[in-house]
Amino acid sequence: MLFHVRMDVNIPADMPAEVADEIKVREKAYSQDLQRSGKWRHIWRLAGEYANYSIFDVESNAELHDVLTALPLFPYMKISVTPLCRHPSSIRDSDA
């Protein structure tokens, strides 16, 4: 199942920099592992924002929930999820 996910990050201003940096290191490692596995297909930064648009390819709503809630930055995120399906006019078989 494909999902379009917008993630807006809002780290508290009073969080010590070393704590924020450690969370970001764990976030990067986790997200890159998911990308290598094919579950996190694409990630794009939104220019001028601490936010991204991503495409996830997971087995179920529950798996997406588990993936997202395991993100180290999850407690500091606002997340919007849109389920996707292949468009009948697409010429790419890999859209499924």
Amino acid 43: pLDDT:
98
Structure tokens given for 26: 């764990």
Task: Give a yes or no: residue 68 inside a domain.
Answer: yes
Task: Give a yes or no: residue 53 inside a domain.
Answer: yes
- Encode pLDDT of 8-17 as tens digits: 999 999 999 9
Task: Give a yes or no: residue 50 inside a domain.
Answer: yes
- Encode pLDDT of 71-92 as tens digits: 999 999 999 999 998 888 988 8
Task: Give a yes or no: residue 31 inside a domain.
Answer: yes
Whether the Cβ atoms of residue 76 and residue 12 lie closer than 8 Å to each other: yes
Number of domains in the chain: 1
- Encode pLDDT of 5-61 as tens digits: 999 999 999 999 999 999 999 999 999 999 999 999 999 999 999 999 999 999 999
- Provide the pLDDT confidence category of residue 96 given band limits of 50, 70 and 90: low
Task: Give a yes or no: residue 96 inside a domain.
Answer: no
For the chain, the first-to-last Cα distance in angstroms comes to 8
Q: Which residue has the tokens 């179920």?
A: 60
